[in-house]
Chain A
């Protein structure tokens, strides 16, 4: 298992290289077509034409686009991610604070969505053919019809404003001081530095965005799981387990679920990728200081160095999620492991 998983990861990484080259080139070229003038933006007001030319040269913008691309890529490889034109800070610093916030959000949403989906899917399966299943069917259809950002707004209206139960702005209460950054992941850092107040505040701030992000995922998982459970229990080995007197509970948990989980895992891989897209709007609505907000700010300010790096980071995240899900799928499917 370990060796095959490593091989799989290696393969994924090798495959990721051409993908990242294409995506970075695409982002880079598209951004050059945007009518923005980073040189002017990098200059203090009232600068002369000479200052302009000097800055243009300093930024490398006097070269051809392939040359510029090459300079960008080679400095990326050297670990130099450039400097934000707007914030006047290294891009790497901006990403380092925003990335963990988004990753925390997505990981939590995936976990919550998956747990809800599995529970709901098993409930739908247990209620198959009853009114209960139809109610769940209808309910989940309604839930899926509402897009994530609308959920975010509805949640704020109901649980943040009408019944002010939960905070809906930012990542922490303003009164709570930030713990020293160890990993950048707030939840981990607060635990590692012994700050339960930070942990509590961060968790309550995550509730609404996590619901907004996971509420669409759960019904998808429910449905896929239900139909694969229904298919699975028709299999000969289920009948044979029944004929051995294995209890119905054990049959579902020990026999059916393991097989029915396989299509569900693939689904989570695909949806996990989409979820990063969802974070952009949801982070904006909740003023959550993640990559999405960073990206939106950067775009608004024509901050090309930030836009292109954050774009690339999103691409890496989607590839990473897919690779992780692939490994989980491998672990769950002995046929692939043994092939």
Chain B
């Protein structure tokens, strides 16, 4: 079949001559989907930027070509390229909510797009748009025409953008992390709609994602990117089930799974090198982190070798003799039984939080929301409990109630057997020494003007501890969170995302709390960094007899760490129980919907399953009704 897009030795360099994309070659044929998979900074988005001639300042194509229907996309000039965009090559963005203009209606934006594509009389636009929106299974498309983007949910906006992308029947569609910003349950629908249109139109597609499992579901072939290079490329199923490159192997083993035995996650030291660091990596760019590197690796750039039909690996150990050692599974984890004998660390009884509606600028009061409704929960010593739900389900409010950052409208909170519902000074003191909260965004949680040793020992400030005592404590906390002592004097801006999150945890551990409340603490992190943090939490449980309330939208993460899980929906606990029971045999339809939205590990199980793909824009319409 004819290749629609063919990259040949494509190299993109920074102003300083460092290759951010090095020697990229791949092809995608009509009707085919290729997945570009990698962690952040691998260079996945750079490819789309080359096609759109939208490279960041100083970056340029220094070598190679990108052939599209006989034209070299690295060479064609402004107007010729613009003619291709939208008509022949379409893009589906990562952030649907901000990718539509907030002051224009859906109808206006779609009409503008149709006018740009051409070939259709204006009088036919309306009917055409309504059909296209119905095609991506949006309800009431007529009504949507008058809506503004902010009146729709992310999933609905993404469906509108997908409908626009496919409106011109383009030859090539580039989707850059199209589901990353969406709730899990929306992901399946969006993927399915995209695939159907792609199949119907025979479109060639580049599907960019950080999720290897999702890519294996969506794509025919997968190219794994690391530090600007394709390190492995092959048939999707093979790359997921039998990865050959050491990095792909670790990546797979670093990702918690939703079924089967729970192995301890593999981790990689540090994180992906930055562009500046590429210059110091003359050989294999993975050498500094590779568990099976040998001295030769750092010397020469390994070539991409075909190790099986249509399966390529860029590694000096391409036949995988050394890497075979990596296949050895990590030990299976057995969560310790909760200590039911002693006083529970935390008991919630009928906890509720009602937010009264805000008065709008015309002074009209809107109806309030029950962010948390009648929640009961008991956390034993040493127990890890997961709280799962989509955005807006009340998870974070619950965390803030427990931490005393909000006052409940109803119900009781018992910490170590004491009632702390009313935040008097005694309750506050008890809370301070018993529980600590770790926030989602380490960036904003860490004071940028204080050095790490000050940050992690902040809790010792009121005790009047000496500088030496604090340094000593900081050193042990960093060691405990597996951070190098060198970081003591650094500032938050000098740390990576994973390091910041560990500092955040170290700070929470300073007062030796019995309970950590962690709100989405791994959601922004890459898989290999996420694995480091998850394992750290497991180690802390063993070492400290710590309890954890883990708030997450990621079922696999919860399954990996927790023994019990609470499913929240619209502020209400809809299901609760042992993790294996809830995930293995969900009772509530909402739980089933959440689970069905995650691609199963076993490629033979069809996905998305029919239940996950109900045409569901009810959530959006709720917001949209005015």
B-chain residues with CB within 8 Å of residue A332 when the two chains form the complex: 103
Additional 10 contacts, C-beta under 8 A, given A243-B85, A254-B112, A332-B103: A236-B95, A240-B99, A240-B161, A243-B86, A243-B90, A244-B91, A258-B104, A335-B148, A335-B150, A338-B148
Cβ of A48 < 8 Å from any Cβ of B? no
B contacts with A, residue count (CB < 8 A): 33
Find residues 80-115 in chain B having any chain A CB closer than 8 Å to their own CB.
82-87, 90-91, 93, 95, 98-105, 112-113
Cβ-based interface call for A159 (8 A): no
B453 to chain A, nearest CB (A): 37
Asked if B52 CB lies within 8 Å of chain A CBs, one says yes
Closest beta carbon of chain B to A237's beta carbon, Å: 4
Asked if B126 is an interface residue, CB under 8 A from chain A, the answer is: no
A339 within 8 A of B: yes
Q: For A56, what are the chain B residues with a Cβ–Cβ distance below 8 Å? A: none
Contact with B along A327-339 (1 / 0, CB 8 A): 0000011111011
A74 CB within 8 Å of chain B? no
Chain A positions within 8 Å of B112 at CB level:
246, 250, 254
Indicate with 1 or 0, residue by residue over A226-244, a CB within 8 angstroms of chain B CB atoms: 0000000001110111111
A residues 229-272 in Cβ contact with B at 8 Å: 235-237, 239-247, 250, 254-255, 258-259
Q: Which of B54, B161, B362, B626 has the most CB of A within 10 A?
A: B362
Which listed residue (A241, A242, A338) contacts B101, Cβ 8 A? A241
Q: Which residues of A contact B84 (CB under 8 A)?
A: 245
Distance in Å: Cβ of B59 to nearest Cβ of chain A = 16
* Residue of A237, A244, A250, A332 most packed against chain B (CB within 10 A): A244
Q: Which of A3-11, A16-24, A64-72, A172-180 contacts B (4 or more CB under 8 A)?
A: A3-11
In the bound complex, residues from chain A placing their C-beta under 8 Å from that of B102 are 237, 259, 334-335
- When A240-B91, A240-B99, A259-B101 are in contact, do A246 and B116 touch as well, CB less than 8 Å? yes
The chain A residue sitting closest to B626, CB to CB, is A338
Q: Which residues of A contact B (CB under 8 A)?
A: 4, 7-8, 11, 235-237, 239-247, 250, 254-255, 258-259, 332-336, 338-339
Q: Which B residues are CB-close (under 8 A) to A247?
A: 82
Q: Is the interface of B mostly helix, strand, loop or mixed?
A: loop
Given contacts A236-B93, A333-B103, A335-B102, contact A242 B362 (CB under 8 A): no
B70, CB-defined interface residue at 8 Å: no
Whether B93 lies near A240 (C-beta < 8 A) is yes
Do residues B101 and A245 form an inter-chain contact, with CB atoms below 8 A?
no
B363 within 8 A of A: yes
Chain B residue with Cβ nearest A237: B101
Query: Is residue B151 within 8 Å, beta carbon to beta carbon, of the partner chain?
Result: yes
21 A–B contacts from the bound complex (CB under 8 Å): A4-B362, A11-B362, A236-B95, A237-B102, A239-B54, A239-B99, A240-B91, A242-B54, A243-B85, A243-B91, A245-B116, A246-B113, A247-B82, A259-B102, A259-B103, A332-B103, A334-B103, A334-B105, A334-B150, A338-B151, A339-B360
Q: Report B-chain residues with C-beta under 8 Å of the C-beta of A236.
A: 93, 95, 98-99
Given A235-B98, A259-B101, check contact A244 B361 (CB 8 Å): no
> In chain B, what residue has the closest Cβ to A262?
B103
Are B90 and A244 neighbours in the complex by a CB distance under 8 Å? yes
Contact assessment for A245 and B83 in the assembled complex, using a CB-CB cutoff below 8 Å: yes
Contact A245-B99, Cβ < 8 Å, known A4-B362, A335-B150:
no
**Candidates A11, A244, A335, A339; contact of B113 at CB < 8 Å:** A244
Q: Chain A's interface: helix, strand, loop or mixed, by majority?
A: helix
Whether a CB of chain A sits under 8 angstroms from the CB of B144 is: no
Q: Chain B residues with Cβ under 8 A from A237's Cβ?
A: 98-102
Residue on A with the closest CB to B363?
A11
The 9 closest A-B pairs by CB, nearest first: A245-B86, A245-B85, A244-B86, A236-B98, A243-B91, A240-B99, A237-B101, A236-B99, A258-B103
Contact A244 B116 (CB under 8 A): yes
A14 to B86 Cα, complex, angstroms? 51
Flag if B103 contacts A242 (CB, 8 Å). Answer: no
In Å, the complex CA distance between A237 and B108 comes to 14
Measured in the bound complex, the distance between the Cα atoms of B151 and A259 in whole Å is 17
List the B residue with the shortest CB-CB distance to A4: B362
Task: Tell me if B318 counts as interface (CB < 8 A to partner A).
Answer: no
B21 on interface, CB distance cutoff 8 Å: no
Once the chains are docked, how many angstroms separate the CA of A332 from the CA of B362?
Answer: 17
B164 contacts partner chain A, Cβ-Cβ < 8 Å: yes
Choose one: A7, A235, A254; the contact of B362 (CB below 8 Å): A7
Residues of chain B with a CB closer than 8 A to A4's CB: 362
Docked complex: B280-338 residues within 8 A CB-CB of A: none
Chain B residue nearest to A8 (CB atoms) is: B362
Identify the closest chain B residue to A255 (Cβ).
B101
| Beta-carbon contact of A246 and B86 below 8 Å | yes
Per the bound structure, the CA–CA distance linking A168 and B379 in Å amounts to: 84
Complex-state Cα separation, A236 to B181, whole angstroms: 14
Chain A residues with CB below 8 A from B99, complex form: 236-237, 239-240
User: B164, A244: Cβ atoms under 8 Å?
Assistant: yes
Give chain B residues whose Cβ lies under 8 Å from the Cβ of A244.
85-86, 90-91, 113, 116, 164
Residues of B within 8 Å of A254, CB to CB, are: 104, 112
Kindly list chain A residues whose C-beta atoms are within 8 Å of the C-beta of B363. 11
Residues of chain B with a CB closer than 8 A to A250's CB? 112
A8 to B362 CA separation, bound complex (whole angstroms): 7
Q: Would you give the shortest CB distance from B79 to chain A, in whole angstroms?
A: 9
A242 to B116, CA, bound (A): 11
Which residues of A lie under 8 Å from residue B101 when comparing CB positions?
237, 241, 255, 258-259
Cβ of A228 to closest chain B Cβ, rounded Å: 13
- Chain B residues with CB below 8 A from A259, complex form: 101-103
Complex contacts, A8 vs chain B, CB 8 Å? 362
Q: Which residue of A lies closest to B91 (CB)?
A: A243
Residues in chain A near residue B86, CB distance under 8 A:
243-246
Per-residue A-contact encoding for B338-373, CB less than 8 Å = 1, 0 else: 000000000000000000000011110000000000
A12 to chain B, nearest CB (A): 11
Alpha-carbon separation in the docked complex, A189 to B626 (Å): 45
Instruction: Report chain A residues within 8 Å CB of B104.
Output: 254-255, 258
Q: Bound complex: CA of A333 vs CA of B87, how far in Å?
A: 31
Is there an interface contact between B361 and A336, defined as CB atoms closer than 8 Å?
A: yes
Distance from A245 Cβ to chain B, minimum over Cβ atoms (Å): 3
Q: Which residues of B contact A246 (CB under 8 A)?
A: 86, 112-113, 116
B82 near A245 (CB under 8 angstroms)? yes
Please report the C-alpha to C-alpha distance between residue A339 and residue B359 in the assembled complex, in whole angstroms: 11
Give A259's nearest chain B residue, CB to CB. B103
CB distance from A240 to the nearest CB of B (A): 4
How distant is the Cα of A243 from the Cα of B112 in the complex, in angstroms?
A: 13
Indicate if the CB atoms of A243 and B100 lie closer than 8 Å.
no
Separation of A242 and B363 alpha carbons in the complex (Å): 39
Q: In angstroms, how far is the closest chain B Cβ from the Cβ of A269?
A: 15
B591–chain A nearest beta-carbon distance, Å = 33
CA distance A11 to B364 in the complex (A): 11
Among A7, A247, A334, A335, chain B packs the most CB atoms within 10 A around the CB of A334
Q: Please report which residues of chain B, range 566-600, place their CB below 8 angstroms from some CB of chain A when the two chains form the complex.
A: none
Q: Which residues of A contact B360 (CB under 8 A)?
A: 339
CB neighbours (8 Å) of B151 from chain A are 338
In the complex, what residue of chain B is closest to A339 when comparing beta carbons? B360
- Of chain B, the residue at the smallest CB distance from A239 is B54
Cα A199 to Cα B360 with chains together (Å): 46
Beta-carbon contacts under 8 Å, B120-178 to A: 148, 150-151, 161, 164
CB contacts (< 8 Å) of B116 on chain A: these are 244-246
Complex CA distance for A237 and B103, rounded to whole angstroms: 11
Is there an interface contact between A245 and B93, defined as CB atoms closer than 8 Å? no
Q: Residues of A contacting B105 with CB < 8 Å?
A: 334
Task: Give the CA-CA distance A242 to B81 in the complex, in Å.
Answer: 11
A193 vs B98: C-alpha distance in the bound complex, in angstroms?
53
- Taken together as a complex, chains A and B put the C-alpha atoms of A11 and B359 apart, in Å, by 14
In whole angstroms, what is the CA distance A94 to B87 when docked? 66
A245-B83, A246-B86, A254-B112 are known contacts. Are A240 and B52 too (CB-CB below 8 A)? no
How distant is B17 from chain A, measured CB to nearest CB, in Å? Answer: 24
* Complex CA distance for A334 and B98, rounded to whole angstroms: 15
Q: Give Cα distance in the complex from A334 to B363, angstroms.
A: 18
Nearest chain B CB to A325 CB, angstrom units: 15
